[in-house]
Structure formats: C-alpha cells, structure tokens
Amino acid sequence: MQLKSILFFAICGVFILISSLNSCYYDNEAYLYSSVNCTDTTYTYTGRIKAIVDQNCATADCHAGTNPSSNIGLETYDQVFDNMENGEFLCTIYQNSGCNPMPKNASKLDACALDAFTKWKERGYPEN
Ligand code: HEM
C-alpha cells in the first residue's frame, strides 16, 4: 500500500475518533451545566431529593423492598448516593443514550427535578 493512502486512512481514523469523542462529551455537558429557573432552591437529601425519589423511583414493585428492580434499591441516602456516584442515576433520568430511560413507564422528570439532582451533586450531596 502506498504511503499516501496509508496517510489518508490514518487521517480519516483520527478525524472519526475526534468527532465521536466530541459527541460523547456533549451528552455529559447536558446535565453538568444546567441553567433552569426554579423556585425551589433546596438541594439537600432530606429537604428535597428524598421526596422526588420516593414519589418517582422507590415505589412498590420498583426500586424499593427486598427485591428492587435491577437490584437497585433507592430508599436510603446511601443507596441514592451510590447510584449517583456510579453515574447511572443521572444517565437514566436525563435519558441519555446508552441508559434505560427512567422513571420506567412514566414521563421524564421535569427540568427543575432534574436540576435538583445536578445541584445536589455539585454541592457534594448534603444529607440535611
Ligand atoms: C426517577 C426514578 C428512577 C430512577 C432514578 C431509576 C434508576 C434506575 C437505574 C439506575 C437502573 C439501572 C440502569 C439501567 O438498567 O440502565 C434502573 C433499571 C430499572 N428500573 Fe428504574 N429508576 C427509576 C424509576 C423506576 C420505576 C418507577 C420503575 C417501575 C415502574 C423502575 C423499574 C426499573 C426496571 C424494571 C429496571 C431494569 C431495566 C429495565 O427493565 O428497563 N424504575 N432504574
């Protein structure tokens, strides 16, 4: 194979790699820099997050009880913290590609509820 064509394919490869990396990073920015105006500015677990999770996720037959869906319980601070830290929680609620959209069989959480999880994470997950 001539040097020219080797160079051509190498440049194509680099170009494809850069554009795929760029699209992946954009997904993450979606929830890193949220900018919605919400009246409720409480960003603690007991003050806001727990109520949203109890109403939308840790319901019976879903992420509660002794046999929670996908073996993921979301009834306690530690359980929600762990699932936020491994990246699954935000990926599922922002319904990013590659994750199962949650809440299952229900509408996507509204922008202020999504923002509450992002701000809770930005503030280091205060419990109270
Ligand atoms: C906003 C609320 C919820 C959150 C944060 C949440 C989070 C998650 C996470 C992180 C997973 C595993 C990741 C994955 O499989 O891609 C998952 C899977 C699952 N969740 Fe939820 N979930 C929520 C609401 C619900 C509800 C209300 C139900 C029941 C109706 C439910 C049922 C399931 C089931 C059955 C799975 C296994 C995968 C599937 O069948 O889609 N989840 N959820």
In a domain, 73, yes or no: yes
One-letter amino acid of 14: V
Q: Tell me, what amino acid is at 24?
A: C
Query: Distances from the Cα of 105 to the Cαs of 10, 11, 96, 108, 112, in angstroms?
Result: 45, 45, 16, 9, 20
Domain that holds residue 80: 30-122
Average pLDDT for the chain? 87
What is the model's pLDDT at position 1? 62
The answer on pLDDT for 24 being more than 70 is no
Which SS3 state, helix, strand or coil, does residue 56 take? helix
Pocket lining: 92 vs ligand 1, CB cutoff 6 Å: yes
Split into its structural domains, the chain has a count of 1
What average pLDDT does this structure show over 58-65?
Answer: 93
69 Cα–ligand 1 center, Å: 6
The set of residues, in sequence order, having a beta carbon less than 8 Å from that of 28 and lying 6+ positions away, is none
Q: Is there a contact between 74 and 58 (Cβ–Cβ < 8 Å)?
A: yes
> pLDDT digit string (tens) for 70-120?
899 999 999 999 999 999 999 999 999 888 999 999 999 999 999 999 999
Q: Whose CA is nearest to atom 1 of ligand 1?
A: 103
Confirm whether 24 is domain-assigned: no
